[in-house]
Chains A and B, each alone.
Chain A
Amino acid sequence: MRINKQLAESIVLSSPCHCLNVRRAALSVSKFYDKLLVESGLRYVQYSLLRYIELSGTITITELAERMRINRTTLSRNLQPLQHAGLIKIQPGKDSRFREVRLTDKGKNSVVCANTMWEQAQKLMETYLQEELPGFEKVLLKLELLAV
């Protein structure tokens, strides 16, 4: 590997990519939640999906993707191990064009067990952010409004 110095300098001089920075921050927060959830055997993304499915009772894959703001391919990739582990059940919905997903009993237990760990993560985040917490909420709301 040889580093192209000229290009490296031009990148350093340009303003930092906000998109990359937001992604990096999200990655470090996700890793933090992953670590605290480790004993549940779930990764954060999996936990958040299970939890949202639980909240909805039954939900179509399309709607789940929309609500969680992830594309369908990524969602399917994330749902697959959950289905294999017997935590969710995917079947044709009332409208047979759309597949529906719901939790199995095993999935429900899994969420209950992970909930305490998630609460712990939330508390630690609050302690960590302290007086920056309102700023965090405000900035994220602003980003969300950009999309509307």
Chain B
Amino acid sequence: MGVFLGLAKIVIDNLCGIGIMMHIHHLEEVMQKKRKSAQTSCYCLKIRRATAFVTNHYDKILASCGVTVRQYSVLQNIALSEHCSIRELADMAELDRSTLARNLQPLRSQGLVVDTRQPGTRNCQLELTEAGRQTLAYGKQLWAEAQQEFIKKMGPEGITALENVLETLEAL
């Protein structure tokens, strides 16, 4: 009887094991389909993709003020350093100049940022317009909302783990 029970237990354990394995496998498949991204072992690709996910989260919430999170931080940097040149702005944002120019261009065409340099002078002096200041103020609320929601989703432990990892990577 004991032997029989022992055997039965092994059979049940294995069945459950297979069940769980199948369940995990199924979940992975579903996730793979949903996220439609390639499996990778590359650390660089992993962190770059993570960036896309996080940026997307902030962008979605900031959408109602009409700018992306990158553009929002450009607006904030211009507000922070009145009359700055493109080079100064690029240094502040740690962006290369062509990336910055790509982010700046829509802000200028939307009339949120103007160049107030005197004719005949070389470096541009960027400034926010009244509309730019309003967008920044509204954006600030939305940013705070995005930040809060992100923290909530990650949980306190997740945030600490994230901060630790990021700090290590930045020092690379």
Give A residues with C-beta under 8 Å from B. 1-4, 7-8, 11, 14-15, 17-30, 32-33, 44, 48, 52, 55, 66-70, 118, 121-122, 125, 128-129, 132, 135-140, 142-148
Contact = CB atoms under 8 A, between A and B. Distances in A.
Q: What secondary structure prevails in chain B residues at the interface with A?
A: helix
Given A2-B83, A4-B79, 16 more contacts: A1-B88, A7-B79, A7-B80, A15-B147, A17-B73, A21-B170, A29-B47, A30-B48, A48-B44, A69-B49, A69-B53, A137-B46, A142-B158, A144-B35, A146-B57, A148-B31
Contacts of B53: 69, 143-144, 146-147
A33 B40 CA distance: 15
Interface string B30-52: 01001111100111111111111
B54 A28 contact: no
B161 A135 contact: yes
Interface residues of B, number: 57
A136 B43 contact: yes
Q: Which applies to chain A's interface (DSSP): helix, strand, loop or mixed?
A: helix
Contacts of B57: 19, 146-147
Contacts of B36: 66-67
